[in-house]
Structure 1
Amino acid sequence: MSTSVTGSPPSLRTPAEARTRPLQQWWALSIRGVAKVFRNGEFVFAFISPVFLAICFYLPLSSVMNSYGISYGQFLMPVIVLQSVGFAASSAAMRASFDDTEGINTRFRVLPMPAAVPMFARLAANAVLLVVSLICANIACAFIGWRPMGGVEGTIGLYVVALTVGLLIALLADGIGSVAGSPEATSQALMLPTLILGMMSSGFVPVSQFPEWIQPFVRNQPISQFVNVMRATDYNALTWEILQPTVWWCVGMFGAAVLLLMIGNRKVRA
């Protein structure tokens, strides 16, 4: 008696039949991740974060900066966008950490699933949250006086830079969350560097307003470099000289993210 392949019991199916396609697995896990982001209220915080930041810095400093001939709403826009990106990155790290502590990664390991599928699914959910964060940041910046100054080309370039940096930060944060092993350690690993680099950057005040001894650090650290590129792109005045440091920072972030993700994957499989 012959039995069709599709009608055979699971124990008699070939490995190729039992294995779900990686693209389908990625899609299912991505939908799960986006739904979890929505249930946790992260979309709400994606709106609150840039609004709160814009109010806290624009209201007390706008009159001072305007006296120097600087339109502070225009000046502040890049760092508000980057802080929104940082929020999405923090969520990415916490999501990876919870997947680790709750044993989800261990369950994925025993399934016929490529090791990269869960990571790419988390990245897809992070990308959705990142887009929402950027939209909310732009709305908040529009209310404090930011207007696109570089035309269509400059505005598109601004969003491309913001999305590229955001995805790299989210990928790096995902690696940190995979390695840290607990939400508490992940929060500590992200909070201090983000706070220091954000406050000691050219995002909120010009480099010349810092003490001379710390100006080299402020000028060359990654947040300041990202801010410089975004401002130059917004005015459609980007040059390779301005862009080059950001390119190298992005390459370094990508390399660090890959290394951390490899370490995290090895830890799960140990």
Structure 2
Amino acid sequence: MSEFAAAAQDAWVTARRGLLHDRREPRLLALPLLQPVLFMLLFGVVLSGVVKVPGVASYPGFLTPGLLVQAVAVTAGLAAVGVAEDVRRGMVDRFRTLPVPAAAVLFGRTASDLVRIAMTAGVATATGVIAGWRVHSGPAAAMAGFLLVLTFGYAVTWLSVVVGLSVRSPRAARVLVPVCLVPLTFVSNVLAPSATMPSWLRPLAEANPVSAVVTALRLLWGNEPARSGASPASAYPLALTWLAAALLLAVPLALHRYRRTPAP
């Protein structure tokens, strides 16, 4: 068996371990799967009568891409807790005593997280459809949008792995991840266009990578305000640039932290 085939098999075993853990601990998926439902009920249904976005006929239609990205980010953030738990239990140290490449372990781990992310994206999408959201573009643009969502979730997963390997404490990871994700997702255009924000807050929202991804989704799916003046041709590459930069930073750093993580 070639080295690549052996590494791929090791990655599959690690991914299968993560999927089996999800089956045995379904409560861990409860919050990520319920969040888009609760947020759509609160913002898209309860407050839709008082929230008006200029140039948008349906607020739930405008809101759904943002809630989809937010829910995926929260789900991807759980990777930090899982990795920190593996460090605490000594699983990372055991993996390193085996003839298994670090890349196989981490890529297998993030592959199982990607399945969890896809489940969350499915629930968020179904919630949006029930609330009245629709894709107003063709099948190719719709598929490109969902691929962008999964890529965003995968990038956040790798950043979360870095956090989990760095803090090495599940409790610290549970605190740190929301501290990072809450401002990142709320100081963005998830709930409202950045143009409606105060002048001091608007530059932060527009520079936010989450805003770039959400804008690309709305443009691809035809949910962006008609008077925004933006186009998918400019928004999609910007979002991909942010995600590529995140992966180029997080993947080597995660591999480095994995190899250097001390035993608990």
- Shared topology, TM-score over 0.5? yes
Amino acid at match of 1:129: R
Number of residues paired by the alignment?
252
- After TM superposition, list the pairs within 5 Å mapping 1:148-167 onto structure 2: 148-167=135-154
Q: Structure 2 length as normaliser, TM-score?
A: 0.87
Equivalent-residue separation in structure 1 for 2:25 and 2:132 (angstroms): 31
Equivalent-residue separation in structure 2 for 1:242 and 1:24 (angstroms): 37
Q: Which residue of 2 aligns with 1:245?
A: 238
Q: Which residue of 1 aligns with 2:6?
A: 21
Query: Judging changes above 3 Å, is the alpha-carbon distance between structure 1 residues 68 and 232 closer, same or farther for their aligned structure 2 residues?
Result: closer
Query: Judging changes above 3 Å, is the alpha-carbon distance between structure 1 residues 33 and 63 closer, same or farther for their aligned structure 2 residues?
Result: same
Structure 1: stretches of 5+ with no match in the other structure: 1-15
Alignment check: 8 A CA contact 1:109 1:115 kept? yes
Deviation at 1:171, TM superposition (A): 1.4
Q: Which residue of 1 aligns with 2:16?
A: 31
- After TM superposition, list the pairs within 5 Å mapping 1:123-134 onto structure 2: 123-134=110-121
Deviation at 1:52, TM superposition (A): 1.1
What SS is found at the alignment partner of 1:205? coil
Bigger Rg over Cα: 1
Alignment check: 8 A CA contact 1:109 1:269 kept? no
Equivalent-residue separation in structure 1 for 2:157 and 2:179 (angstroms): 17
Deviation at 1:253, TM superposition (A): 0.9
Structure 2: stretches of 5+ with no match in the other structure: 224-229
Give the superposed CA RMSD.
Answer: 2.2
Q: Which residue of 2 aligns with 1:97?
A: 84
- After the TM superposition, which parts of structure 1 deviate over 4 Å for at least 4 consecutive aligned residues? 66-69
Q: Which residue of 2 aligns with 1:265?
A: 258
- After TM superposition, list the pairs within 5 Å mapping 1:1-270 onto structure 2: 21-41=6-26, 42-66=28-52, 68=54, 70=56, 71-235=58-222, 238-268=231-261
Equivalent-residue separation in structure 1 for 2:246 and 2:11 (angstroms): 24
Equivalent-residue separation in structure 1 for 2:53 and 2:157 (angstroms): 37
Q: Structure 1 length as normaliser, TM-score?
A: 0.86
Stretch deviating more after TM superposition (107-116 or 41-50): 41-50
